[in-house]
Amino acid sequence: MSTPGPALVVHGGAGHVARDRMEPGGAERVREGLRAALARGLALLEAGAPALDAVCEAVAELEARPEFNAGRGAVLARDGSVQLSASVMRGADRAAGAVAHVCDLLHPVRAARAVLADGRAVLLVGEAASALGRAAGVPPASPDELIIPRRRADLERALRDGGAELDLDADHGTVGAVACDARGRLAAATSTGGLTGQLPGRVGDSPLIGAGTWADDGSVAVSATGTGEVFIRAAFAHQVDALLRHAGLDLASACDRALEEVTRLGGRGGCVAVTPAGDIALPFTTRGMYRGWARAGEARHVALFAGDPG
């Protein structure tokens, strides 16, 4: 697909959950969340806003919905804490901001944007990240507001079974968005709660520029979801850029090739990506990836599993 003009692609995580394992009404709630994220981001793009605004607000919409593993409803670490991470990147100048190990903000993506705007760092962690976010107007949230009963039950089951339950194997996942605005500018944003039962202090690929998130107006914007450690080792998001820029591949081929490397290293997952020309890609190597895509003035599409019509 290669029609120029504003475009937005969102994801709610890639995983191996089966349709019959989703709780009653779960699939429709996921679709509602994806549609709401598309509507929120597209309204900005159609009003002439930059791509960075669109991806941040689309991701903020998903962070507020407990069906996804980001913001409210994020999964819990081994010690029962919530540990949120997010990153944003602007394609015009490769400016980026990221936060990790945040436990008291509803919208870590907005804290990540505050890091970008501040300009003194790319990645902040813990209380320093929260403090900068609060100073920028990001609303605080207590653990009682962020943690939902289902995530406590997930952790109890994971600990009882003796290990971490990857978000890939549940009915939720990392969220993200990529956009191309009316001027051909690109941006990407990604947000996650990590893995159920993860080691306290673990950081995956979502807040790492070049691994889970990338944007460059000369090539591509990417937001990834999957086996975080492997996506880091594969430098996944930047690898998509490199395959476009240096190997001359088209977008779909570049994403597929980068995912092949993830598979070779023992991981799985997917991504959403968009180019300045408006080409989009949504590949994944799991049973499904919650995803939505649209261009300004055109029909909006959402899908959950492999083979689902858009």
SS3 114: helix
Distance CA(65)–CA(70), nearest Å, equals: 8
Token pair 């290990």 is found at 163
**Token output for 87:** 């990153």
Helices and strands, number each (H, E), in the chain: 9, 12
Backbone angles phi and psi of 246, in degrees to 5: -105, -30
Strands (E), 83-219: 84-90, 95-102, 123-125, 175-180, 186-192, 213-216
Give me the catalytic one of 3, 174, 196, 275: 174
Whether 174 is a known active-site residue: answer yes
Token pair 């959403």 is found at 272
Which residues belong to the active site? Answer: 174
